[in-house]
A and B are shown apart, each in its own frame.
Chain A
Amino acid sequence: MSVSKSAKLYTVQYNVHKIVTYEDMTKLESSLFFEKISIPIPGDRKIALPIDATIKAYVDFGNFSKENILIEGEKITITLPDPQMELTSSKIDHKNEKEFLSWNRTRFKEKEKDEFLRQGISSILSGMKDTDIIERSRLSAYNALLPLFAAAGFSSENITMCFNEEIENSQHEERTIFNMFHKD
């Protein structure tokens, strides 16, 4: 068990469902009279494992300092690190696990299933990158932090929240446009 202090603001939660499937195509390989022979083992050996996972996106305030806050008269600009996502839990629906086995094939070992599930989780996380989770998290962070700065006396039109990556991207865009016009 390890315990560590943190300061993260979780802003959006996605509940996802995936059916992890695997079809075992095994062959018997051997050599006979110096000739390599491979024979596919007939019959089915298939498995379907349903998983439910929860992914949350957060803004890490671990390195938040006064440099992240800029107050100019009635206006305030808060620079936040870009949101990150994290798998907070996963649960296998054991009751709906299905195995399809021919008479000549062995059942799946739990260790084999562990490997498929690990791949399933990696697939979920890489699939999540194509969703709008980060964009939603930014918007949700704004909604969660707005009352805090509004209570401190700033009106909502004077509160600006920007994220590091957005700034970097806009700087990159500015540089690209600048380079287009100043090639020589």
Chain B
Amino acid sequence: MKSVSLGLVVVLGLACAGLLVRWTDTLRPPSDPNAIDESLYLNGKTARRISLSFNGLAADWYWMRSLQYVGKKILNQPGDVAIDDLSKLNLKLLAPLLDTATTLDPEFLDPYEYAAIVLPAIDVKEAIRITQKGIAANPNAWRLYQHLGYIYWQQGDYQAASEIYGRGAQIPGVPNWMLAMKAKMIADGGSRDTAREIYTRMFEESADEQVKDMARKHVLLLDSLDQRDVLKRVLQSYRDRQGRCPNAWTYLRDVFRSGSIPVDDYGSPVDPAGFPYVLRSGTCEVQLDPKSEVPIK
């Protein structure tokens, strides 16, 4: 009887404690997601020193913390957020988190890749520094050269990008396109073809699903920009001939029969994601379908 009573006290006590926690949670004022983040108490070197043999595990912890940190901010942000444009999210802790993770485990390549993709929009100097740190610690990891080249290319520094691709191309076993990228950066750094090549390679080589998705969307955007250029030319030609813009795509059905742009069952040209382009009636403006996966810019 006594043991049953004590058991009941334990069970009921735990239930009460759970309910009280729930109640206090409702009383706590909601935290502002854009409030100033706390600082990291430890820098990478100190963390590595005090982690004893557990530096790998500590690196994993910092890596997961980085992902949770970004994920939480994205969830608090209304609408879609592109992984390579998180500048509005006040991610001031991301660089120190990734830096600590890579100091704890310098061979851990994923945080370098994440830094190269996400950080340029937030702090490009840190993005370059962390990626260069990765190259210094892993001189044979050619993907880090690819990522650093990508950062320089984004900054419009095609000379530096070319040099980095060239250095990466010297690593044994590296894909041939790294050498081709070296030349392409100098000759044609700002073109869509170069951009398409960069994102296609990123999509092919990355193991990170978020990075792959970002690269895929960029390729969709580039393909769509090419298509929209063609459509603009077609519309311009129609206006020159008819003196006005068409009210619907059906007026241009014969033009699209040539197969330069894929069309749907209704004769409307479709974007690379399979959604029909929107033609504003009586104007020559072509827009993306709001439901389309192709990014606006």
User: Are the chains A and B members of one assembly?
Assistant: no
Q: Which residues of B contact A (CB under 8 A)?
A: none
Q: Which residues of A contact B (CB under 8 A)?
A: none
